[in-house]
A and B are shown apart, each in its own frame.
Chain A
Amino acid sequence: MLKVSGLNKSFQDGLSALREINFEINRGDFVSIVGLSGSGKSTLLKCLNRTIQPTCGRIILKGVDITSLEESDLKEIKKKIGMISQQFNLINKYSVLTNVLTGALGRLGILSPILNLWPKELRDQALNYLGIVGIREKCDSSVDTLSGGQRQRVAMARALMQEPELFLADEPIANLDPITASVVMDYLHQINQKYGLTILCTLHTLELARHYSSRIIAMQRGQIIFDRQSRDFHKISKELVYSEG
């Protein structure tokens, strides 16, 4: 499904954020990436949907090499990759439903979304996804009135609206309290289990990663140090992952 080989990213200041990243992910996997801040987790995710241009290496999604795509073809690939992040990145003052509908922009013509004319089937689809993340009743509220956990669920519904092949979650619970965080993670897990969506999620805590994902990739200083099934992960000491290397 997703194959990453020899991926490197160096920034202009000479900082090497990713070094020789290689891994493969199968359809329906829930993979967590753990590591300290600055270990390259976010950079890796941003390379996967080409928000950041990798320096070298290949990213192959369903047989298509994303790394070599031109700007015009990139839109098609971006549609297939849903992404949520710790800042939620929702449009404040707009309704929950409109925010979710923006996930379908790639499928629509120029004019109708601007005139706020969304096709009925898209509205129904959006309401359905809001139901999946458990906030259908909030569809007409403005997103400013929602809590952090609810906002993240709206962002999840928006990403689902893209009908993605791959779902990237960049520190989805970093700004949330533990209880809200587990609710968000439960929904993410549910999406993976029920709908077979492939999820790649960066996390700070090993416990959550072990609890929710089938496989864990640990990163340190831009390199993968471990890549195991999560049931095998207890063999690795926590100190190793969270040491400065």
Chain B
Amino acid sequence: MMKGVGESLALEDVRKTRRDPEGNPVEILRGINLVVPAGSLTVVVGPSGGGKSTLLRLLNRLEDPDGGRILLAGVDIASLDPLALRRRVAAVPQVPFMYDGSVLANLQRPFVFRNLPQPSADSVETRRVLDLCRLPAELLPRQARSLSVGQQQRLALARALLLEPGVLLLDEPTSALDPPTADQLGQSLRDIRRERGLTLLMLTHDLRLARRVADRAAFLESGRILEEGAAADFFENPRADALRRFLSAPEAAHE
């Protein structure tokens, strides 16, 4: 099995400002400094509205920051062709979007976009990715939109993996899943990482999942990283008061 090569990410004083409906500037990210080592599985936790999703959108240049730099393997991503960047940095949005057509057609879609030869249903690579994402091969001819939400979530993951990115960005991958399905997804993520060696950055509310799979963690609140470090330390000995409160009652912090 071929092993992907994880790439590192580094954020240096990254800032992003948006405008509210009245046109007033709102600072979403206020100087983010974060290192995501190559091959690590880093989770970013924090209350809703803290800037997590915006942060993720900057990393594959769905948007560009207003200040600071983002380095991929040491190179400022602002200098990279966005289409080439998005091949190295794959993102799976929170809500999976399925194209009209079969599961296989959905897996092939990124290859169509890039004008690359499409993987067939019985190629080793297709089978391996389906295995990793715990999707039975019998699903391949099925209409993708007829799958359950959990299956669609995993298909979105498989679709992103098939292009062998160096970094995988996941936005709340378990938000629509019940605990057993979420656990399966967590198991998939660990397998993917072990087999591919890629770098994973995941946003999540799901502290159970975060504790199980992460080796690094960061806490993002009100546009700032208030704490980051090795996952064991982060979850067992949180130093910031806000993080301690969040870890003890994450649901309360949503509001």
A and B part of one assembly: no
